[in-house]
Structures are given as structure tokens and as C-alpha cells.
């Protein structure tokens, strides 16, 4: 009995399945899906070495997701009308009823066949894109960023399917198809509308939130990595930036020359000392030294262990076999390196070689920190200029440091390392990544962060205002139904980095922070000096999550259950009346 019933169900399902695949409409849509897939695979192949934090790439990913949502949505609408509301389908349903097939069974077989066929096409698209991107020669793009968001089509497609069925059923087929199409366009393109409707004040405040979140993330990440590698940088033994002239392990004579940086310095007074110290560190010149009374004093002499890290790195870079693709003046902080004409800095090859070197053995966690963060620190100038305060310099009057004039700007005492910097610019790049984390690992810099009240007014950073804006952002996340796709599609990204990247460029998706930090007043630094005797990360700064993606998934599941139940009711109640 059960076997016969299953056979009947299978036969009906097979008849309906053949009804779909033999149609010209199916052939057209499958061809369109294939064309879309191949088009974006070609586009991504052109970005084989691209940064995952590149503006164009984010735009392509957002655009591809919108196109695939619309394509599969249209596919669903066409399948619905063909399987339930076309003359041929209605004739089949009448015949089924005459042969004793219950309306409920007829409905569910068709309903499931359409859904499963759509899932098959979606999974085929995902598999094809995944395999192709994985096997592309020299491709470093993340499958997580490009492919995994397509899995949301399984949830979104079902929700759209259930809503569209009721819309088409409730009115005439032509009108219902039009309404379902409008609903599809609004839902798929809602994130673009959200971006456009976000006010300038909201963008500025979002950038301020992202800035402090990004600095905290980098600082915390470096703190944890350096502690795991037992660098012991936070043991109350030294103070680098505050009262450094009287520090026993630091030397006033070292700072008398404003040109601490090998390449160029800013200003001529002793008040510029701290600025030039930071300039040298953020340029990655961690091997700089100076002769004082015939003694060689090194820039990082405040911490022998920290200095040894860079010496080990320098020795290994001279010994490992890697092909340098950089010039020193292409790195951030040099006037030839600009946002409009920047070269992507790819450290993956040298990091791979360093894993097997002494540096990789002694500092595996710091090396992992470099691998995870070099893109965000080095490869996006909008991020650099907006969020990493140390990179904000006026290049208009600064010398363009070309090869023929570089020697005029070298500290003579640095002759031993200047040539090394030129022949191994990867050292400068890696040092920059390390030092960005290092400088942010002591306290949370809130001095230069402000919030916009209106077009004319702004106020300095405060925890009260910070929490007020976060509350407003969270409410917007939960109420803006049309932006749900943006959060679902970006759930596989690092939220702090994605929010920073997308908000500073005001791109295709509005991704506000879903992960933030629970700061205390003592975690924040409102002074120009940075106390480096200890780190606020010694006492864990807890994170908090808005859980927006859980909420969105629950909403979609509720839509699926509710509308599917309604569809069963209206179809069985009114279909043959």
C-alpha cells in the first residue's frame, strides 16, 4: 500500500519534472543563468591577485548577488505560472482530480518539484563557480566572499517563492506576475536604496564607529599574537611615547635630529620628535639607528625582544628565496603611493616562505597576524586615509622620493640598513603591518574621533554618544527589511573590515557593524601621548553582537512557514471552486 502510494507520488513528480525541463522557457532561463555565471567567473578571473578589500571587487560581488537574485526570482515566477496557472497545467490538475488524486497531494507535488528544481539550478551555479574560482591559476580570491553568499538563495528563494505564489493566486495571473516582479526588484535592490537614503551625518557617524572598531580589532589581534609568541611587550618596563626623554632606556640625543625617518622628516623643532618617531615606525623603518658618542643606538632599543623580532625578520628575508615585486616608494606613507594610482601589495608569497624560516618558527602567531591583516593595512587607501590616523599627511609639498634624490634624505648613520630597505621593501611593508597593530595595542585612541550632530555641529567622542549611535544603528538593522539581503550576503565576511570598507566608499551594500566592543572609560585614550607601559587588552575588552543574521533567518523562516500554510489553504479551498 505504502509502496504503491510512493510509486504514484514519484510518477506524478516525474511527469511534472518533465513538464518543466521540456519547456522552451526552462531552456531560456537555464541559458541565462549559465551566461551570468560565466560572465562573473571571467570578471573574477581578471582579479586573480586582487585584494579582498578592493572597492571594485565589493561592487562586483554586490552586483552579482543582485543579478542572481533577480534571475532566480524571475525563474521562480515563470515556473510558478507554468506549473500552477497555465492552461496546460490546469488541464493536468483536472485530469488528476478525475483519477482521484487529492488536491493537497497535487499541490505539494508541484510545490516541491518547483522548489527542488530551483535548488538544483542554484547548487549547480554555486558548484560551478566554486570549482572554477578554486582552480584559477594564481587566484587568491576567497570562496567565502564570493561563493558562500549564494547559499542564501536557498532560504531567500523559498521565501520569495511562497510569497509570490500567494500574490499570483490572489489576483489575475498577468497582474500577479507583475506584482511579484516588482516585489522581487524591491527586495533584490533594497540595499542600493538603503545606501542612497543614508544621510551624510549617518555616514560620518558610521565611519567614526568603524574607525574605533577597526583600530581596536588590529590592536587586540596584535596583542594576542605577540603574547602568544611571548614577546612580553606589556610588562610595565618602558614608556615609548610619553616622557620618553627621561626614560632610562631611551636617549634624548637620538631625537635631536628631526629626521628619524630614513626617507624624510617633518618639521625642524624638538616638538616634532614624537611625530617623526611615529613617522619612522609607520614607514616600517624598525632597524633605524644612530651614533651617539660612538655608540650605536637603535630606534627600538626600548625592547630587546621586539627589536630581535625585526632582526630575525631581516635575516630571514635575506636568506629565503622569494621574488620581490615592490619598490619602497610604492608603500603607504610615501608620496608616490596614492589612492588613484596604487599598486596592490601582495605578501602571500613571502609569508609562505617565512613560515618555514626562523621567523615563522619563533613568531608563528605574529606571522598569522600579518597574513590576516596586511590587506586592510596596506591595500586600501580609503581605509588608510579614513581610519588609520597615522597615514594622514599632506603630500602636496612633500618631496616625491625618486631614486635619484633618495640619498639626500637618508640618515647617514643608517647606511647599514638603508640599502637593505631598498632591496627588501617587503621588510618595510611587513614592519608597517606589525607597527600598526603595535601602536594600537596599548590603548584605544579616541582623541580625534567625533560624532556629527547635524550639518553644522559635531561633538567629541564619548561612550554615551557611542552607545547612542550603536543603538540607532541596531534599530535600523532590525527594521530595514529591504536591507536584509546585504547582511545575509556579508555574514561570511569579517564584519568590522567589511563595514569599514563599504561605509567609507558608500558602495552597493549598507553594512553597519554587527560586532562592536564593550568599552569602559579606562580603555580610551584622549591624550596626544600614548602610555606604553601596559595594554588595555590585558583585561579583555568583550565584544557584543547584534545577532541581526539570526533575526533575519528567523524572519525568513517565519515567512516560509506562514505563506506556505496560506498557500495550502487557499489552493485547496478555492482552486476548483
- Say how far apart CA 122 and CA 128 lie, in whole Å: 10
Contacts of 284 (CB under 8 A, 6+ apart): 331, 427, 428, 429, 430, 431, 432, 435
pLDDT at 31: 92
Selected residue with higher pLDDT from 225 and 192: 225
Q: Name the residue with higher pLDDT: 569 or 395.
A: 569
- Flag whether 286 is in a domain: yes
Gap between the Cα atoms of 498 and 505, Å rounded: 11
pLDDT of residue 148: 83
Length of the chain, in residues: 577
What's the farthest any 2 CA atoms get from each other in the chain? 107
CA separation, residue 110 to residues 258, 488, 519 (Å) = 78, 28, 54
pLDDT for the residue 390: 46
Q: With cut-offs at 50, 70 and 90, classify the pLDDT of residue 159.
A: very high
DSSP string for 293-319:
TTEEEETTTT-HHHHHHHHHHHHHHHH
| Structure letter (DSSP) for residue 37 | H
pLDDT of 229 over the 90 cut: yes
Give the domain-ending residue among 440, 473, 497: 440
Phi, psi of 124 (to 5 degrees): -65, -45
For the residues 162-181, what does the mean pLDDT come to? Answer: 88
Specify whether 429 is located in the same domain as 497: no
Domain interval for residue 347: 235-440
Q: Is residue 204 part of a domain?
A: no
| 433-458 tens-digit pLDDT | 998 898 888 888 887 788 888 777 88
CA quadruple 219, 220, 221, 222: dihedral sign: positive
pLDDT band for 185, please (50, 70, 90 cuts).
confident
Residue-wise pLDDT for 352-365, tens only, equals 999 999 999 999 99
The arithmetic mean of pLDDT across residues 158-162, rounded, is: 92
Residue 210 located in a structural domain: no
Cα angle 541, 544, 547 (rounded to 5 degrees) comes to 160
Higher local confidence (pLDDT), 474 or 505: 474
pTM: 0.82
pLDDT at 291 over 80: no
d(CA 226, CA 222): 6
pLDDT score recorded for residue 337: 44
pLDDT at residue 261 tops 70: no
Say which residue, 210 or 226, is predicted with more confidence.
226
Q: Report how far residue 45's alpha carbon sits from residue 397's, in angstroms, rounded to the nearest whole number.
A: 39
Residue 333 domain flag: yes
CA-wise closest residue to 249 among 235, 239, 259, 258: 239
In a domain, 493, yes or no: yes
Task: Report DSSP state, residue 540.
Answer: -
Do 471 and 353 lie in one domain? The reply is no
**151/270 same-domain check:** no
- Whether the CB-CB separation of 109 and 571 falls below 8 Å is answered with no
Give the up-direction half-sphere exposure of residue 116: CA atoms within 13 A in the CB hemisphere: 12
Residues 433 and 509 in one domain: no
Q: Are 510 and 423 in contact (CB under 8 A)?
A: no
pLDDT, average across residues 402-417: 54
End position of a domain, from candidates 416, 440, 464 = 440
Q: Clarify whether residues 327 and 372 are in a common domain.
A: yes
Q: Which of 206-220, 400-414, 443-457 has the highest mean pLDDT?
A: 206-220
Q: Which of 198-202, 284-288, 334-338, 432-436 has the lowest mean pLDDT?
A: 334-338
Burial class for 346, CB neighbours closer than 10 Å (0-12, 13-18, 19+): buried
* pLDDT confidence tier of residue 339, bands split at 50, 70 and 90: very low
16 near 88, Cβ under 8 Å?
no
Would you say residue 17 lies in a domain?
yes
Smallest CA-to-CA distance from 273 within 301, 304, 297, 242 is with 242
Whether the pLDDT of residue 253 is over 50: the answer is: no
Distance CA 509, CA 489 (A): 10
At 504 the pLDDT is 60
- The pLDDT, as a whole number, for residue 81 is 87
267 & 396 share domain: yes
> Rounded distance, CA 456 to CA 107, Å?
61
Comparing 344-348, 467-471, 550-554, which segment has the lowest mean pLDDT? 344-348
Instruction: Compute the radius of gyration of the chain from its Cα atoms.
Output: 30
**Please, which pLDDT band fits residue 399 given cuts at 50, 70 and 90?**
very low
Sequence-ordered alpha helix ranges (H) in 136-171:
143-146, 152-170
Across the chain, mean pLDDT equals: 78
Alpha-carbon distance of 516 to 466, in angstroms, equals 11
30: which strand partners?
Answer: none
Does residue 359 sit in the same domain as residue 329? Answer: yes
What pLDDT band is residue 49 in, cutting at 50, 70 and 90?
very low
Whether the predicted pLDDT of 416 surpasses 90: no
pLDDT band at 566 (very low <50, low <70, confident <90, very high): very high
Distances in Å between the alpha carbon of 292 and those of 286, 382, 407? 18, 40, 21
* 367 and 513 inside one domain: no
Q: Decide if pLDDT at 1 tops 70.
A: no
Residue 418 has pLDDT above 70, yes or no: yes
Q: Are 404 and 297 in contact (CB under 8 A)?
A: no
Cα distances (Å, whole numbers) of residue 115 to 24, 59, 73, 182, 363: 19, 29, 12, 21, 51
Same-domain check for residues 132 and 263: no
178-187, 255-264, 385-394, 397-406: the lowest-pLDDT one: 397-406
Rounded to whole angstroms, the Cα distance separating 354 from 134 reads 24
Is residue 193 a part of any domain in this protein?
A: no
Q: Which residue has the higher pLDDT, 447 or 320?
A: 320
- State what percent of residues in the chain have pLDDT above 90: 16
User: Which pLDDT score, from 0 to 100, does residue 503 have?
Assistant: 64
Mean pLDDT in residue range 561-569: 92
End position of a domain, from candidates 440, 456, 472 = 440
Position 212 in a domain: no
Q: Over the stretch 421-437, which tens digit does the pLDDT of each residue have?
A: 888 889 989 998 998 89
* Per-residue pLDDT band at 141 (split at 50, 70, 90): low
Q: Which of 57, 152, 185 is nearest to 497 (CA)?
A: 57
Residues 280 and 348 in one domain: yes
- The residues near 534 (Cβ < 8 Å, ≥ 6 apart) are 234, 235, 236, 442
Flag whether pLDDT at 314 surpasses 90.
Answer: yes
Q: What is the DSSP letter of 142?
A: -
Number of domains in the chain: 3
User: Based on the domain organization, do 319 and 456 belong to the same domain?
Assistant: no
Span 482-497, pLDDT tens digits:
888 888 877 777 777 7
Query: Domain check: are 413 and 528 in the same one?
Result: no
Amino acid at each position: 500500500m505504502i509502496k504503491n502510494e510512493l510509486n504514484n507520488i514519484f510518477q506524478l513528480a516525474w511527469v511534472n519534472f518533465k513538464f518543466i525541463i521540456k519547456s522552451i522557457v526552462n531552456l531560456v532561463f537555464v541559458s541565462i543563468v549559465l551566461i551570468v555565471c560565466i560572465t562573473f567567473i571571467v570578471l573574477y578571473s581578471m582579479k586573480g591577485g586582487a585584494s579582498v578589500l578592493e572597492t571594485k571587487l565589493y561592487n562586483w560581488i554586490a552586483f552579482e548577488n543582485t543579478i542572481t537574485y533577480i534571475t532566480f526570482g524571475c525563474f521562480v515566477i515563470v515556473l510558478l505560472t507554468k506549473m500552477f496557472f497555465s492552461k496546460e497545467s490546469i488541464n493536468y490538475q483536472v485530469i488528476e482530480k478525475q483519477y482521484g488524486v487529492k488536491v493537497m497531494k497535487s499541490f505539494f507535488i508541484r510545490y516541491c518539484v518547483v522548489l527542488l528544481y530551483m535548488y538544483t539550478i542554484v547548487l549547480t551555479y554555486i558548484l560551478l563557480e566554486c570549482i572554477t574560482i578554486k582552480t584559477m591559476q594564481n587566484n587568491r580570491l576567497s570562496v567565502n566572499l564570493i561563493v558562500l553568499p549564494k547559499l542564501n538563495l536557498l532560504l531567500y528563494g523559498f521565501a520569495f517563492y511562497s510569497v509570490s505564489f500567494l500574490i499570483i493566486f490572489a489576483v489575475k495571473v498577468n497582474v500577479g506576475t507583475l506584482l511579484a516582479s516588482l516585489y522581487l526588484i524591491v527586495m533584490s535592490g533594497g540595499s542600493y536604496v538603503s545606501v542612497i537614503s543614508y544621510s551624510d551625518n549617518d555616514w560620518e557617524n558610521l565611519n567614526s564607529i568603524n574607525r574605533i572598531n577597526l583600530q581596536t580589532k588590529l590592536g587586540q589581534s596584535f596583542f594576542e599574537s605577540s603574547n602568544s609568541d611571548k614577546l612580553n611587550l606589556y610588562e610595565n618596563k618602558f614608556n615609548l611615547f610619553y616622557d620618553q626623554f627621561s626614560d632610562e632606556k631611551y636617549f634624548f640625543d637620538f631625537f635631536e635630529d628631526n629626521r628619524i625617518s630614513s626617507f624624510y622628516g617633518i618639521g625642524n623643532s624638538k616638538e616634532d620628535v614624537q611625530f617623526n618617531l611615529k613617522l619612522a615606525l609607520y614607514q616600517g623603518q624598525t632597524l633605524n639607528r644612530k651614533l651617539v658618542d660612538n655608540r650605536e643606538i637603535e630606534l627600538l632599543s626600548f625592547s630587546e625582544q621586539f627589536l630581535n623580532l625585526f632582526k630575525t625578520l631581516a635575516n630571514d628575508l635575506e636568506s629565503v628565496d622569494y621574488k620581490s615585486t615592490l619598490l619602497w616608494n610604492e608603500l603607504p606613507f610615501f608620496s608616490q603611493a596614492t589612492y588613484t594610482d596604487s599598486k596592490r601589495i601582495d605578501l602571500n608569497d613571502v609569508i609562505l616562505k617565512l613560515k618555514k624560516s626562523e621567523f615563522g618558527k619563533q613568531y608563528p602567531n605574529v606571522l598569522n597576524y600579518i597574513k590576516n591583516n596586511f590587506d586592510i593595512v596596506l591595500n586600501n587607501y580609503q581605509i588608510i586615509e579614513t581610519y588609520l590616523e597615522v597615514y594622514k599627511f599632506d603630500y602636496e609639498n612633500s618631496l616625491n622620493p625618486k631614486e635619484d634624490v633618495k640619498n639626500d634624505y637618508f640618515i647617514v648613520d643608517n647606511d647599514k640598513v638603508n640599502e637593505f630597505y631598498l632591496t627588501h621593501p617587503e621588510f618595510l611593508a611587513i614592519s608597517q603591518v606589525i607597527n600598526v597593530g603595535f601602536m594600537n595595542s596599548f590603548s584605544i585612541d579616541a582623541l580625534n574621533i567625533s560624532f556629527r550632530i547635524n550639518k553644522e555641529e559635531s561633538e567629541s567622542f564619548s561612550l554615551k554618544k557611542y552607545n547612542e549611535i550603536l543603538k540607532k544603528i541596531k534599530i535600523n538593522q532590525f527594521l530595514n527589511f529591504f536591507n536584509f539581503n546585504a547582511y545575509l550576503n556579508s555574514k561570511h565576511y569579517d564584519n568590522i573590515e567589511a563595514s569599514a570598507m563599504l561605509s567609507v566608499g558608500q558602495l552597493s551594500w549598507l553594512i553597519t557593524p554587527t560586532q562592536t566592543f564593550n568599552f569602559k572609560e579606562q580603555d580610551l585614550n584622549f591624550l596626544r601621548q600614548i602610555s606604553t607601559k601596559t595594554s588595555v587588552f590585558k583585561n579583555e575588552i568583550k565584544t557584543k553582537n547584534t545577532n541581526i543574521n539570526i533575526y533575519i533567518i528567523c524572519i525568513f523562516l517565519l515567512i516560509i512557514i506562514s505563506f506556505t500554510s496560506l498557500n495550502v489553504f487557499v489552493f485547496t479551498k478555492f482552486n476548483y471552486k
